[in-house]
Amino acid sequence: MSAIRIERTHNRGLDAAKQEAESLAEDLTEKFGLKYGWQGETLAFKGSGAKGEIHCASDSIALTLELSFVLRPFKTRIEQEVHKYLDAFAAK
């Protein structure tokens, strides 16, 4: 599997980070058919082709995403989209 790890600091608080993680997970679910659920402050997701987690804190949000062989050719594109998503959140 090919991994993507991205972390951003923010000053929006834990609730905002969790809302953003939920929104990102919904987007990933729509695009890749993932299922997700919360385990404390971490949103874990899994599907055919990808699995990972988004850890939320009051001052940071961190995504780890592992892509299967099938999605590996799309790693750069997926990584760019996640960077844009988290950059927009951190800039708010």
**In the structure, what pLDDT confidence band is assigned to residue 52 with cuts at 50, 70 and 90?**
very high
For all residues of the chain together, what is the average pLDDT? 92
> For the residues 43-66, what does the mean pLDDT come to?
94
Which residues form the domain of 56? 2-91
Count the domains in the chain.
1
For the cut 80, the answer to whether the pLDDT of residue 13 exceeds it is yes
For residues 57-90, one letter each, b for 16 or more C-beta atoms within 10 angstroms of the residue's C-beta and e for the rest, the string is eeeebbbbbbbeeebeeeeeebbeebeebbeebb
CATH (domain of 6): 3.30.310.50
For the cut 80, the answer to whether the pLDDT of residue 1 exceeds it is no
pLDDT single digits (tens) 21-32: 999 889 888 887
For the cut 80, the answer to whether the pLDDT of residue 73 exceeds it is yes
For the cut 70, the answer to whether the pLDDT of residue 48 exceeds it is yes
